Structure 1
Amino acid sequence: MRIRISPEETRLLQELILEHCGVNLGVDAGFLFERRLGVRLEALSLASFREYFHYLSYDLDGPAELEDCIERITTHETYFFREQFQLDAFRQEIIPQLVHGDAGGRGPAVWSAGCSTGEEAYTIAMLLAEAAPQAASLVIGSDISRKVLATAQQGVYGPASFRTTDDAVRDRQFLPAGPGLWRVPPSIRRMCSFVHLNLLEVARYATLGRLDVIFCRNVLMYLSSPARHRIVEAFYDALVPGGFLLLGHSESLLNVTTRFDLVHLSSDLVYRRPA
Protein backbone atom coordinates (compact mmCIF):
# COMPACT_ATOMS: atom_id res chain seq x y z
CA MET A 1 0.00 0.00 0.00
CA ARG A 2 1.45 3.36 -1.05
CA ILE A 3 2.32 5.74 1.77
CA ARG A 4 0.63 9.08 1.13
CA ILE A 5 2.43 12.38 1.49
CA SER A 6 0.91 15.49 3.03
CA PRO A 7 1.37 19.02 1.69
CA GLU A 8 3.56 19.84 4.69
CA GLU A 9 5.77 16.79 4.11
CA THR A 10 6.03 17.73 0.44
CA ARG A 11 7.18 21.22 1.40
CA LEU A 12 9.81 19.89 3.80
CA LEU A 13 11.31 17.58 1.18
CA GLN A 14 11.14 20.25 -1.53
CA GLU A 15 13.03 22.72 0.64
CA LEU A 16 15.64 20.14 1.60
CA ILE A 17 16.31 19.23 -2.04
CA LEU A 18 16.26 22.88 -3.10
CA GLU A 19 18.87 23.76 -0.50
CA HIS A 20 21.04 20.77 -1.39
CA CYS A 21 21.19 21.05 -5.16
CA GLY A 22 18.92 23.88 -6.32
CA VAL A 23 16.38 21.60 -8.03
CA ASN A 24 12.88 23.09 -8.07
CA LEU A 25 10.35 20.26 -8.40
CA GLY A 26 7.23 22.37 -8.82
CA VAL A 27 3.58 21.56 -8.18
CA ASP A 28 3.80 17.83 -8.96
CA ALA A 29 6.45 17.19 -6.30
CA GLY A 30 4.13 15.29 -3.97
CA PHE A 31 3.12 12.80 -6.65
CA LEU A 32 6.77 12.41 -7.67
CA PHE A 33 7.85 11.72 -4.09
CA GLU A 34 5.12 9.13 -3.58
CA ARG A 35 5.90 7.34 -6.84
CA ARG A 36 9.71 7.36 -6.69
CA LEU A 37 10.56 7.45 -2.99
CA GLY A 38 7.86 5.22 -1.49
CA VAL A 39 10.07 2.17 -1.96
CA ARG A 40 12.77 3.83 0.15
CA LEU A 41 10.36 4.33 3.05
CA GLU A 42 9.56 0.62 2.91
CA ALA A 43 13.24 -0.34 2.73
CA LEU A 44 14.05 1.86 5.74
CA SER A 45 10.92 0.76 7.68
CA LEU A 46 9.68 4.33 7.92
CA ALA A 47 5.99 5.01 8.45
CA SER A 48 5.73 8.46 6.88
CA PHE A 49 7.48 10.97 4.65
CA ARG A 50 8.05 13.14 7.73
CA GLU A 51 10.12 10.31 9.20
CA TYR A 52 11.96 10.11 5.87
CA PHE A 53 12.69 13.84 6.03
CA HIS A 54 14.11 13.46 9.54
CA TYR A 55 16.17 10.50 8.37
CA LEU A 56 17.64 12.55 5.53
CA SER A 57 18.30 15.51 7.82
CA TYR A 58 19.65 13.92 10.99
CA ASP A 59 20.59 10.25 10.59
CA LEU A 60 24.26 9.32 10.16
CA ASP A 61 23.31 7.63 6.90
CA GLY A 62 21.28 10.65 5.81
CA PRO A 63 23.86 12.08 3.38
CA ALA A 64 24.11 8.78 1.49
CA GLU A 65 20.33 8.45 1.42
CA LEU A 66 20.01 12.02 0.17
CA GLU A 67 22.27 11.14 -2.76
CA ASP A 68 19.98 8.21 -3.56
CA CYS A 69 16.93 10.46 -3.17
CA ILE A 70 18.33 12.98 -5.67
CA GLU A 71 19.17 10.09 -7.99
CA ARG A 72 15.57 8.95 -7.99
CA ILE A 73 13.83 12.30 -8.48
CA THR A 74 16.09 13.91 -11.12
CA THR A 75 15.94 13.47 -14.90
CA HIS A 76 18.76 11.77 -16.82
CA GLU A 77 17.65 12.09 -20.44
CA THR A 78 20.36 12.34 -23.10
CA TYR A 79 21.68 10.77 -26.30
CA PHE A 80 24.48 11.19 -28.84
CA PHE A 81 24.60 14.23 -31.14
CA ARG A 82 21.70 15.93 -29.39
CA GLU A 83 20.68 19.37 -30.70
CA GLN A 84 22.73 18.99 -33.86
CA PHE A 85 22.37 22.63 -34.92
CA GLN A 86 24.25 23.72 -31.80
CA LEU A 87 26.90 21.06 -32.28
CA ASP A 88 27.38 22.34 -35.85
CA ALA A 89 27.97 25.84 -34.48
CA PHE A 90 30.46 24.43 -31.98
CA ARG A 91 32.34 22.49 -34.64
CA GLN A 92 32.27 25.06 -37.43
CA GLU A 93 32.67 28.34 -35.54
CA ILE A 94 33.76 27.89 -31.93
CA ILE A 95 36.46 25.21 -32.23
CA PRO A 96 38.32 27.06 -35.03
CA GLN A 97 38.39 30.22 -32.92
CA LEU A 98 39.81 28.38 -29.93
CA VAL A 99 42.41 26.43 -31.86
CA HIS A 100 43.49 29.44 -33.95
CA GLY A 101 43.99 31.52 -30.83
CA ASP A 102 46.13 28.91 -29.12
CA ALA A 103 49.72 29.32 -30.27
CA GLY A 104 50.96 26.65 -27.89
CA GLY A 105 49.01 23.87 -29.57
CA ARG A 106 47.02 23.11 -26.42
CA GLY A 107 43.58 21.93 -27.34
CA PRO A 108 40.35 23.36 -25.94
CA ALA A 109 39.18 22.32 -22.49
CA VAL A 110 35.44 21.72 -22.44
CA TRP A 111 33.15 20.99 -19.49
CA SER A 112 29.90 19.09 -19.98
CA ALA A 113 28.02 20.14 -16.83
CA GLY A 114 25.20 17.73 -16.06
CA CYS A 115 26.55 15.15 -18.49
CA SER A 116 24.25 12.35 -17.30
CA THR A 117 25.35 9.01 -18.81
CA GLY A 118 28.12 10.63 -20.86
CA GLU A 119 26.80 10.80 -24.40
CA GLU A 120 27.22 14.57 -24.57
CA ALA A 121 30.82 14.49 -23.31
CA TYR A 122 31.79 11.82 -25.82
CA THR A 123 29.99 13.67 -28.63
CA ILE A 124 32.01 16.79 -27.83
CA ALA A 125 35.24 14.77 -27.79
CA MET A 126 34.45 13.28 -31.20
CA LEU A 127 33.83 16.72 -32.67
CA LEU A 128 37.10 18.02 -31.19
CA ALA A 129 39.04 15.03 -32.47
CA GLU A 130 37.64 15.57 -35.96
CA ALA A 131 38.05 19.36 -36.09
CA ALA A 132 41.36 19.68 -34.23
CA PRO A 133 43.11 16.28 -34.45
CA GLN A 134 46.56 17.66 -33.53
CA ALA A 135 45.37 19.47 -30.40
CA ALA A 136 45.46 17.81 -26.99
CA SER A 137 41.85 18.59 -26.13
CA LEU A 138 40.18 17.68 -22.84
CA VAL A 139 36.53 17.06 -22.05
CA ILE A 140 35.29 16.91 -18.46
CA GLY A 141 31.87 15.48 -17.73
CA SER A 142 30.21 16.06 -14.38
CA ASP A 143 26.94 15.04 -12.80
CA ILE A 144 25.33 14.90 -9.38
CA SER A 145 24.46 11.23 -9.94
CA ARG A 146 27.16 8.62 -9.31
CA LYS A 147 25.03 6.00 -11.08
CA VAL A 148 24.96 7.78 -14.42
CA LEU A 149 28.68 8.59 -14.13
CA ALA A 150 29.42 4.88 -13.77
CA THR A 151 27.67 4.32 -17.11
CA ALA A 152 29.64 7.20 -18.64
CA GLN A 153 32.94 5.75 -17.50
CA GLN A 154 32.10 2.38 -19.03
CA GLY A 155 31.34 4.02 -22.38
CA VAL A 156 29.00 1.27 -23.63
CA TYR A 157 25.60 2.23 -25.03
CA GLY A 158 22.46 0.71 -26.50
CA PRO A 159 20.06 1.79 -29.26
CA ALA A 160 18.34 4.54 -27.22
CA SER A 161 21.58 6.51 -27.09
CA PHE A 162 21.69 6.58 -30.91
CA ARG A 163 18.07 7.58 -31.53
CA THR A 164 19.03 10.47 -33.84
CA THR A 165 22.36 9.07 -35.08
CA ASP A 166 22.63 7.60 -38.57
CA ASP A 167 23.68 3.95 -38.53
CA ALA A 168 26.63 4.78 -40.79
CA VAL A 169 27.90 7.39 -38.31
CA ARG A 170 27.40 5.04 -35.38
CA ASP A 171 29.24 2.20 -37.10
CA ARG A 172 32.11 4.49 -38.09
CA GLN A 173 32.56 6.22 -34.74
CA PHE A 174 31.93 3.33 -32.33
CA LEU A 175 33.11 -0.22 -31.73
CA PRO A 176 30.72 -3.20 -31.48
CA ALA A 177 30.34 -4.37 -27.88
CA GLY A 178 27.83 -7.20 -28.18
CA PRO A 179 24.29 -7.57 -29.54
CA GLY A 180 22.73 -4.11 -29.75
CA LEU A 181 25.65 -2.45 -27.93
CA TRP A 182 28.41 -0.10 -29.05
CA ARG A 183 31.53 1.09 -27.22
CA VAL A 184 33.24 4.48 -27.37
CA PRO A 185 36.72 3.91 -28.91
CA PRO A 186 39.77 4.23 -26.63
CA SER A 187 41.09 7.33 -28.44
CA ILE A 188 37.92 9.23 -27.53
CA ARG A 189 37.67 7.82 -24.01
CA ARG A 190 41.21 9.03 -23.27
CA MET A 191 40.09 12.60 -24.02
CA CYS A 192 37.35 12.43 -21.37
CA SER A 193 37.25 12.37 -17.60
CA PHE A 194 34.20 12.22 -15.36
CA VAL A 195 33.72 13.72 -11.91
CA HIS A 196 30.94 13.71 -9.33
CA LEU A 197 29.84 17.31 -8.80
CA ASN A 198 26.85 19.13 -7.36
CA LEU A 199 26.63 22.34 -9.42
CA LEU A 200 25.74 24.34 -6.30
CA GLU A 201 29.23 23.53 -4.96
CA VAL A 202 30.64 26.40 -6.98
CA ALA A 203 33.92 26.50 -5.03
CA ARG A 204 34.81 23.16 -6.60
CA TYR A 205 34.73 24.57 -10.14
CA ALA A 206 38.33 25.71 -9.66
CA THR A 207 39.44 22.07 -9.45
CA LEU A 208 38.41 21.56 -13.08
CA GLY A 209 41.20 23.84 -14.32
CA ARG A 210 40.92 26.51 -16.97
CA LEU A 211 37.93 26.06 -19.28
CA ASP A 212 37.34 27.31 -22.82
CA VAL A 213 33.75 26.08 -23.24
CA ILE A 214 31.00 25.00 -20.88
CA PHE A 215 28.04 22.98 -22.13
CA CYS A 216 25.16 23.11 -19.65
CA ARG A 217 22.20 21.98 -21.68
CA ASN A 218 18.74 21.27 -20.25
CA VAL A 219 19.95 21.58 -16.66
CA LEU A 220 19.18 25.16 -15.63
CA MET A 221 15.49 24.68 -16.45
CA TYR A 222 15.14 22.40 -13.42
CA LEU A 223 16.75 24.84 -10.98
CA SER A 224 15.39 27.68 -8.88
CA SER A 225 16.10 31.24 -9.95
CA PRO A 226 18.67 31.87 -7.16
CA ALA A 227 20.45 28.61 -8.02
CA ARG A 228 20.57 29.51 -11.72
CA HIS A 229 22.05 32.92 -10.96
CA ARG A 230 24.67 31.50 -8.61
CA ILE A 231 25.72 28.78 -11.04
CA VAL A 232 25.81 31.03 -14.12
CA GLU A 233 27.98 33.57 -12.32
CA ALA A 234 30.33 30.76 -11.29
CA PHE A 235 30.42 29.52 -14.90
CA TYR A 236 31.57 33.00 -15.91
CA ASP A 237 34.43 32.92 -13.42
CA ALA A 238 35.41 29.38 -14.47
CA LEU A 239 35.79 30.30 -18.14
CA VAL A 240 38.89 31.90 -19.60
CA PRO A 241 38.35 35.36 -21.16
CA GLY A 242 36.68 34.74 -24.50
CA GLY A 243 35.25 31.41 -23.35
CA PHE A 244 31.79 30.19 -24.37
CA LEU A 245 28.71 28.99 -22.49
CA LEU A 246 26.24 26.83 -24.46
CA LEU A 247 22.77 26.19 -23.03
CA GLY A 248 19.91 23.98 -24.19
CA HIS A 249 17.62 25.11 -26.99
CA SER A 250 14.80 25.88 -24.54
CA GLU A 251 17.00 27.79 -22.09
CA SER A 252 18.36 31.32 -21.97
CA LEU A 253 19.80 33.86 -19.56
CA LEU A 254 17.01 36.31 -20.35
CA ASN A 255 15.86 36.49 -16.73
CA VAL A 256 19.29 36.01 -15.17
CA THR A 257 21.48 39.01 -14.43
CA THR A 258 24.83 38.06 -15.90
CA ARG A 259 28.13 39.40 -17.18
CA PHE A 260 28.01 37.21 -20.31
CA ASP A 261 27.67 38.68 -23.80
CA LEU A 262 25.11 37.16 -26.16
CA VAL A 263 26.82 36.09 -29.39
CA HIS A 264 24.96 35.41 -32.65
CA LEU A 265 26.54 32.53 -34.58
CA SER A 266 25.27 31.39 -37.95
CA SER A 267 23.12 28.61 -36.51
CA ASP A 268 22.81 29.35 -32.81
CA LEU A 269 22.88 31.91 -30.02
CA VAL A 270 25.56 31.34 -27.39
CA TYR A 271 27.01 33.23 -24.45
CA ARG A 272 30.59 34.40 -24.17
CA ARG A 273 32.80 35.84 -21.46
CA PRO A 274 34.22 39.02 -22.99
CA ALA A 275 37.81 38.74 -24.10
Structure 2
Amino acid sequence: MSDEEFRLIRDLVYNHCGMFFAPDAKYLLEKRLSSRLAFHNLASYKDYYLLLKYDIRKDQEMSDLMDVLTTNETYFFREAFQLKAFTDEIIPEIVEAKLKKGDRSLRIWSAGCSTGEEPYTIAMLLLENSMLKGWRIEIIGTDISHRVLQQARKGVYGKSSFRATDAAYVGRYFEEQEGGSYRLSDNLRELVTISQLNLFDQNRLALLGRMDIIFCRNVIIYFDQLAKKKVVETFCQSLYPGGFLLLGHSESLMNITTLFTLRHLKNDMVYQKPLTAGGGL
Protein backbone atom coordinates (compact mmCIF):
# COMPACT_ATOMS: atom_id res chain seq x y z
CA MET A 1 0.00 0.00 0.00
CA SER A 2 1.49 3.32 -1.06
CA ASP A 3 1.29 6.44 1.10
CA GLU A 4 -1.25 7.92 -1.33
CA GLU A 5 -3.44 4.80 -1.25
CA PHE A 6 -3.28 4.82 2.55
CA ARG A 7 -4.42 8.47 2.72
CA LEU A 8 -7.25 7.94 0.23
CA ILE A 9 -8.71 4.89 2.00
CA ARG A 10 -8.07 6.28 5.49
CA ASP A 11 -9.93 9.50 4.69
CA LEU A 12 -12.83 7.58 3.13
CA VAL A 13 -13.21 5.47 6.27
CA TYR A 14 -12.89 8.52 8.50
CA ASN A 15 -15.60 10.46 6.65
CA HIS A 16 -17.88 7.43 6.80
CA CYS A 17 -17.68 6.62 10.51
CA GLY A 18 -15.03 8.70 12.30
CA MET A 19 -12.57 5.83 12.74
CA PHE A 20 -9.09 7.33 12.41
CA PHE A 21 -5.88 5.63 11.33
CA ALA A 22 -2.71 7.56 12.16
CA PRO A 23 0.26 7.29 9.76
CA ASP A 24 1.90 4.62 11.93
CA ALA A 25 -1.21 2.42 11.46
CA LYS A 26 -0.62 2.07 7.71
CA TYR A 27 0.62 -1.52 8.05
CA LEU A 28 -2.42 -2.46 10.16
CA LEU A 29 -4.80 -1.04 7.56
CA GLU A 30 -2.92 -2.77 4.74
CA LYS A 31 -3.02 -6.10 6.54
CA ARG A 32 -6.74 -5.92 7.36
CA LEU A 33 -7.70 -4.85 3.85
CA SER A 34 -5.67 -7.53 2.08
CA SER A 35 -8.52 -10.05 2.48
CA ARG A 36 -10.93 -7.65 0.73
CA LEU A 37 -8.54 -7.26 -2.23
CA ALA A 38 -8.32 -11.03 -2.50
CA PHE A 39 -12.11 -11.37 -2.24
CA HIS A 40 -12.65 -8.98 -5.17
CA ASN A 41 -9.57 -10.23 -7.06
CA LEU A 42 -8.10 -6.71 -7.20
CA ALA A 43 -4.51 -5.95 -8.14
CA SER A 44 -3.95 -2.85 -5.98
CA TYR A 45 -5.25 -0.81 -3.07
CA LYS A 46 -5.99 1.99 -5.53
CA ASP A 47 -8.42 -0.36 -7.29
CA TYR A 48 -9.99 -1.11 -3.93
CA TYR A 49 -10.35 2.61 -3.20
CA LEU A 50 -12.11 3.10 -6.55
CA LEU A 51 -14.50 0.25 -5.68
CA LEU A 52 -15.31 1.89 -2.33
CA LYS A 53 -15.77 5.27 -3.97
CA TYR A 54 -17.59 4.60 -7.23
CA ASP A 55 -18.65 0.97 -7.66
CA ILE A 56 -22.32 -0.01 -7.58
CA ARG A 57 -21.35 -2.34 -4.69
CA LYS A 58 -19.74 0.44 -2.65
CA ASP A 59 -22.35 0.54 0.16
CA GLN A 60 -22.23 -3.19 0.72
CA GLU A 61 -18.43 -3.17 0.56
CA MET A 62 -18.17 -0.36 3.10
CA SER A 63 -20.37 -2.43 5.41
CA ASP A 64 -18.13 -5.48 4.89
CA LEU A 65 -15.08 -3.29 5.48
CA MET A 66 -16.45 -2.19 8.85
CA ASP A 67 -16.63 -5.86 9.86
CA VAL A 68 -12.94 -6.21 9.03
CA LEU A 69 -11.77 -3.01 10.73
CA THR A 70 -13.67 -3.08 14.02
CA THR A 71 -12.33 -4.85 17.11
CA ASN A 72 -14.98 -6.65 19.14
CA GLU A 73 -13.45 -8.03 22.33
CA THR A 74 -16.12 -8.06 25.02
CA TYR A 75 -17.76 -10.21 27.70
CA PHE A 76 -20.64 -10.13 30.21
CA PHE A 77 -20.31 -7.91 33.31
CA ARG A 78 -17.27 -6.07 31.98
CA GLU A 79 -15.95 -3.23 34.21
CA ALA A 80 -17.75 -4.36 37.36
CA PHE A 81 -17.07 -1.19 39.38
CA GLN A 82 -18.92 0.88 36.78
CA LEU A 83 -21.83 -1.56 36.73
CA LYS A 84 -22.04 -1.27 40.52
CA ALA A 85 -22.27 2.52 40.16
CA PHE A 86 -25.01 1.94 37.57
CA THR A 87 -27.13 -0.36 39.77
CA ASP A 88 -26.47 1.13 43.23
CA GLU A 89 -26.28 4.85 42.48
CA ILE A 90 -27.43 5.88 39.00
CA ILE A 91 -30.60 3.79 38.76
CA PRO A 92 -31.94 4.83 42.22
CA GLU A 93 -31.29 8.49 41.35
CA ILE A 94 -33.14 8.21 38.04
CA VAL A 95 -36.00 6.23 39.60
CA GLU A 96 -36.51 8.86 42.31
CA ALA A 97 -36.52 11.71 39.78
CA LYS A 98 -38.90 9.91 37.42
CA LEU A 99 -41.40 8.86 40.07
CA LYS A 100 -41.78 12.51 41.07
CA LYS A 101 -43.00 13.14 37.51
CA GLY A 102 -45.18 10.02 37.43
CA ASP A 103 -42.92 8.45 34.79
CA ARG A 104 -42.20 4.71 35.03
CA SER A 105 -40.17 4.24 31.87
CA LEU A 106 -36.45 3.73 31.34
CA ARG A 107 -34.53 3.92 28.05
CA ILE A 108 -30.89 2.85 27.81
CA TRP A 109 -28.62 2.86 24.74
CA SER A 110 -25.59 0.61 24.41
CA ALA A 111 -23.64 2.35 21.61
CA GLY A 112 -21.04 0.02 20.14
CA CYS A 113 -22.67 -3.07 21.63
CA SER A 114 -20.56 -5.55 19.63
CA THR A 115 -21.82 -9.13 20.05
CA GLY A 116 -24.42 -8.09 22.63
CA GLU A 117 -22.85 -8.90 25.99
CA GLU A 118 -23.17 -5.31 27.23
CA PRO A 119 -26.91 -4.70 26.54
CA TYR A 120 -27.79 -8.16 27.84
CA THR A 121 -25.73 -7.53 31.00
CA ILE A 122 -27.72 -4.32 31.50
CA ALA A 123 -30.95 -6.28 31.02
CA MET A 124 -29.95 -8.84 33.66
CA LEU A 125 -29.10 -6.12 36.18
CA LEU A 126 -32.42 -4.36 35.60
CA LEU A 127 -34.44 -7.56 35.89
CA GLU A 128 -32.78 -8.16 39.27
CA ASN A 129 -33.77 -4.69 40.50
CA SER A 130 -37.04 -4.72 42.48
CA MET A 131 -37.39 -0.92 42.18
CA LEU A 132 -38.11 -1.36 38.47
CA LYS A 133 -40.91 -3.89 38.82
CA GLY A 134 -43.78 -2.80 36.56
CA TRP A 135 -41.61 -0.30 34.67
CA ARG A 136 -41.44 -0.07 30.89
CA ILE A 137 -37.80 -0.80 30.09
CA GLU A 138 -36.20 -0.45 26.68
CA ILE A 139 -32.55 -1.24 25.97
CA ILE A 140 -31.19 -0.50 22.51
CA GLY A 141 -27.91 -2.04 21.38
CA THR A 142 -26.30 -0.65 18.24
CA ASP A 143 -23.08 -1.30 16.35
CA ILE A 144 -21.69 -0.45 12.91
CA SER A 145 -20.69 -4.06 12.20
CA HIS A 146 -23.35 -6.36 10.73
CA ARG A 147 -21.25 -9.42 11.57
CA VAL A 148 -21.25 -8.87 15.35
CA LEU A 149 -24.92 -7.88 15.36
CA GLN A 150 -25.86 -11.23 13.84
CA GLN A 151 -24.34 -12.92 16.87
CA ALA A 152 -26.01 -10.45 19.23
CA ARG A 153 -29.40 -11.27 17.72
CA LYS A 154 -28.68 -14.99 17.85
CA GLY A 155 -27.96 -14.73 21.58
CA VAL A 156 -25.71 -17.78 21.82
CA TYR A 157 -22.38 -17.43 23.65
CA GLY A 158 -19.30 -19.49 24.41
CA LYS A 159 -17.62 -19.83 27.79
CA SER A 160 -15.18 -16.94 27.19
CA SER A 161 -18.11 -14.51 27.32
CA PHE A 162 -18.82 -15.57 30.92
CA ARG A 163 -15.32 -15.01 32.37
CA ALA A 164 -16.68 -12.37 34.81
CA THR A 165 -20.19 -13.75 35.28
CA ASP A 166 -21.54 -15.18 38.52
CA ALA A 167 -22.87 -18.72 38.04
CA ALA A 168 -26.25 -17.63 39.45
CA TYR A 169 -26.81 -15.31 36.47
CA VAL A 170 -25.91 -18.07 34.02
CA GLY A 171 -28.38 -20.41 35.69
CA ARG A 172 -31.20 -17.86 35.71
CA TYR A 173 -30.84 -16.30 32.27
CA PHE A 174 -29.18 -18.89 30.01
CA GLU A 175 -29.83 -22.39 28.77
CA GLU A 176 -26.88 -24.65 28.03
CA GLN A 177 -26.74 -25.99 24.48
CA GLU A 178 -25.00 -28.97 22.94
CA GLY A 179 -21.32 -28.26 22.52
CA GLY A 180 -21.03 -26.16 25.68
CA SER A 181 -22.51 -22.89 24.41
CA TYR A 182 -25.31 -20.98 26.17
CA ARG A 183 -28.51 -19.44 24.76
CA LEU A 184 -30.00 -16.43 26.55
CA SER A 185 -33.57 -16.53 27.83
CA ASP A 186 -36.56 -14.96 26.09
CA ASN A 187 -37.34 -12.58 28.98
CA LEU A 188 -33.86 -11.12 28.58
CA ARG A 189 -34.16 -10.89 24.82
CA GLU A 190 -37.51 -9.07 25.09
CA LEU A 191 -35.89 -6.08 26.80
CA VAL A 192 -33.21 -5.57 24.14
CA THR A 193 -33.49 -4.30 20.58
CA ILE A 194 -30.42 -4.83 18.39
CA SER A 195 -29.84 -2.70 15.29
CA GLN A 196 -27.10 -1.50 12.95
CA LEU A 197 -26.09 2.12 13.39
CA ASN A 198 -23.23 4.36 12.30
CA LEU A 199 -22.61 7.01 14.98
CA PHE A 200 -21.98 9.50 12.15
CA ASP A 201 -25.44 8.92 10.63
CA GLN A 202 -27.35 11.92 11.99
CA ASN A 203 -30.65 10.97 10.32
CA ARG A 204 -30.72 7.49 11.85
CA LEU A 205 -29.56 8.81 15.22
CA ALA A 206 -32.48 11.23 15.32
CA LEU A 207 -34.88 8.27 15.08
CA LEU A 208 -33.60 6.72 18.32
CA GLY A 209 -35.33 9.30 20.52
CA ARG A 210 -34.22 10.45 23.97
CA MET A 211 -32.34 8.23 26.44
CA ASP A 212 -31.90 8.14 30.22
CA ILE A 213 -28.49 6.46 30.08
CA ILE A 214 -25.96 5.89 27.30
CA PHE A 215 -23.20 3.30 27.56
CA CYS A 216 -20.40 3.94 25.06
CA ARG A 217 -17.43 2.02 26.36
CA ASN A 218 -14.18 1.63 24.42
CA VAL A 219 -15.61 3.10 21.21
CA ILE A 220 -14.41 6.70 20.98
CA ILE A 221 -10.79 5.57 21.50
CA TYR A 222 -10.83 4.83 17.75
CA PHE A 223 -11.77 8.44 16.89
CA ASP A 224 -9.64 11.54 16.56
CA GLN A 225 -10.47 14.65 18.59
CA LEU A 226 -12.86 16.14 16.04
CA ALA A 227 -14.81 12.91 15.60
CA LYS A 228 -14.98 12.41 19.39
CA LYS A 229 -16.44 15.88 19.79
CA LYS A 230 -19.05 15.23 17.10
CA VAL A 231 -20.17 11.91 18.59
CA VAL A 232 -20.21 13.13 22.20
CA GLU A 233 -22.29 16.18 21.24
CA THR A 234 -24.73 13.77 19.57
CA PHE A 235 -24.91 11.78 22.82
CA CYS A 236 -25.71 14.96 24.71
CA GLN A 237 -28.57 15.73 22.34
CA SER A 238 -29.85 12.16 22.74
CA LEU A 239 -29.97 12.29 26.55
CA TYR A 240 -32.75 13.68 28.70
CA PRO A 241 -31.57 16.48 31.02
CA GLY A 242 -29.98 14.74 34.00
CA GLY A 243 -29.18 11.67 31.90
CA PHE A 244 -25.89 9.79 32.24
CA LEU A 245 -23.07 8.92 29.83
CA LEU A 246 -20.86 5.97 30.80
CA LEU A 247 -17.54 5.67 28.97
CA GLY A 248 -14.79 3.05 29.17
CA HIS A 249 -12.34 3.24 32.08
CA SER A 250 -9.57 4.63 29.84
CA GLU A 251 -11.76 7.25 28.18
CA SER A 252 -12.34 10.88 29.18
CA LEU A 253 -14.10 13.97 27.87
CA MET A 254 -11.21 16.20 28.89
CA ASN A 255 -10.40 18.67 26.09
CA ILE A 256 -13.38 17.36 24.09
CA THR A 257 -16.48 19.08 25.47
CA THR A 258 -17.87 20.98 28.45
CA LEU A 259 -21.43 19.80 27.86
CA PHE A 260 -21.30 17.23 30.68
CA THR A 261 -20.72 17.36 34.42
CA LEU A 262 -18.21 14.87 35.84
CA ARG A 263 -19.84 13.06 38.77
CA HIS A 264 -17.66 11.40 41.41
CA LEU A 265 -19.82 8.53 42.65
CA LYS A 266 -18.79 6.02 45.32
CA ASN A 267 -18.00 3.31 42.79
CA ASP A 268 -16.91 5.21 39.68
CA MET A 269 -16.71 8.55 37.89
CA VAL A 270 -19.42 9.11 35.28
CA TYR A 271 -20.66 11.96 33.10
CA GLN A 272 -24.08 13.57 33.52
CA LYS A 273 -25.97 15.95 31.28
CA PRO A 274 -26.90 19.00 33.40
CA LEU A 275 -30.55 19.64 34.15
CA THR A 276 -30.16 23.14 32.73
CA ALA A 277 -28.24 24.40 29.69
CA GLY A 278 -24.66 25.54 30.12
CA GLY A 279 -22.75 22.35 30.77
CA GLY A 280 -20.48 21.32 33.59
CA LEU A 281 -16.94 19.93 33.58
Q: Using the TM superposition, name which of 129-138 and 221-230 deviates more.
A: 129-138
1:39-88 deviation per Cα after TM superposition (whole angstroms, max 9, x unaligned): 22122121100110011001111111111112101111111000000000
Secondary structure of the structure 2 residue equivalent to 1:108: strand
State the partner residue of 2:137: 137
State the partner residue of 1:91: 87
Contact persistence 1:232–1:258 (CA under 8 A): no
1:171-212 deviation per Cα after TM superposition (whole angstroms, max 9, x unaligned): 233222222111111111100001111001133222112210
C-alpha RMSD of matched pairs (Å): 1.4
Residues 144-183 of structure 1: matches in 2 within 5 Å? 144-183=144-183
Contact persistence 1:32–1:73 (CA under 8 A): no
Q: Structure 2 vs 1, CA of residues 218 and 135 (structure 1 numbering), >3 Å: closer, same or farther? A: same
Greater than 4 Å deviation, 4+ residue runs: none
Residues 103-122 of structure 1: matches in 2 within 5 Å? 103=99, 104=102, 106-122=104-120
State the partner residue of 2:269: 269
TM-score, scaled to structure 1? 0.94
Secondary structure of the structure 2 residue equivalent to 1:137: strand
Secondary structure of the structure 1 residue equivalent to 2:89: helix
Q: Structure 2 vs 1, CA of residues 264 and 76 (structure 1 numbering), >3 Å: closer, same or farther? A: same
Aligned equivalents of 1:26, 1:12: Cα separation in 2: 13
| Percent of paired sites with the same residue | 49
Q: Structure 2 vs 1, CA of residues 69 and 107 (structure 1 numbering), >3 Å: closer, same or farther? A: same
Gaps of 5+ in 2: 276-281
Contact persistence 1:155–1:184 (CA under 8 A): yes
Q: Using the TM superposition, name which of 230-239 and 34-43 deviates more.
A: 34-43
Shift of 1:225: 1.0
Q: Using the TM superposition, name which of 178-187 and 49-58 deviates more.
A: 178-187
**Number of residue pairs matched by the alignment:** 271
Shift of 1:28: 4.2
Contact persistence 1:105–1:136 (CA under 8 A): no
Which of 40, 52, 61 is the equivalent residue of 2:48?
52
Gaps of 5+ in 1: none
